[in-house]
Chain A
Amino acid sequence: MSRIVVVTSGKGGVGKTTTSAAFATGLAMRGYKTAVIDFDVGLRNLDLIMGCERRVVYDFVNVINNEASLNQALIRDKHVENLHILPASQTRDKDALTPEGVGRVMDDLHELGFDFIVCDSPAGIERGAHMAMYYADDAIVVTNPEVSSVRDSDRILGLLQSKTHRAERGESVREHLLITRYSPARVQAGEMLAMEDILEILAVPLIGVIPESQSVLQASNSGAPVILDKVSDAGQAYDDFVRRFLGETVPHRFLEVEKKGFFKKLFG
Chain B
Amino acid sequence: MGWFNYFKQSKPTSAKVAKERLQIVIAHERLDRNGPEYLPQLRRDIMEVIRKYVPISDEQVNVQFEKGADFDVLELNIALPDRDH
Chain A residues within 8 Å of B, Cβ to Cβ: 146-147, 150-151, 154-155, 158, 162, 187, 189-194, 197, 200-201, 267-268
**Complex CA–CA separation, A171 to B16 (angstroms):** 36
- The reply to whether B19 and A197 contact each other, CB–CB distance below 8 Å, is yes
- The reply to whether A191 and B15 contact each other, CB–CB distance below 8 Å, is yes
* Stretch of B26-34, B37-45, B48-56, B64-72 on the interface side: B26-34
Chain B residues within 8 Å of A, Cβ to Cβ: 1-2, 13-16, 18-19, 21-23, 25-26, 29-30, 33
Query: Contact partner of B19 among A155, A158, A162, A193, CB < 8 A?
Result: A193
Query: Contact partner of A201 among B2, B16, B22, CB < 8 A?
Result: B22
- The reply to whether B22 and A190 contact each other, CB–CB distance below 8 Å, is no
- The reply to whether A154 and B26 contact each other, CB–CB distance below 8 Å, is yes
- The reply to whether A190 and B2 contact each other, CB–CB distance below 8 Å, is no
Q: List 24 A-B contacts (CB under 8 A).
A: A146-B18, A147-B18, A150-B22, A150-B26, A151-B22, A151-B26, A151-B29, A154-B26, A154-B29, A154-B30, A158-B29, A158-B30, A162-B33, A189-B13, A190-B14, A190-B15, A191-B13, A191-B14, A193-B15, A193-B22, A200-B19, A201-B19, A201-B23, A268-B2
**Complex CA–CA separation, A133 to B81 (angstroms):** 45
Closest 10 CB pairs of A and B: A190-B13, A197-B19, A158-B33, A190-B15, A154-B26, A147-B18, A193-B15, A201-B22, A193-B18, A150-B22
- Give the distance to chain B from A181, nearest Cβ to Cβ, in Å: 15
**Complex CA–CA separation, A158 to B30 (angstroms):** 8
Q: Given that A154-B30, A267-B2 are contacting pairs, would A197 and B15 also be in contact in the complex, using a CB cutoff of 8 Å?
A: yes
- Give the distance to chain B from A162, nearest Cβ to Cβ, in Å: 8
**Complex CA–CA separation, A187 to B16 (angstroms):** 10
**Complex CA–CA separation, A78 to B33 (angstroms):** 44
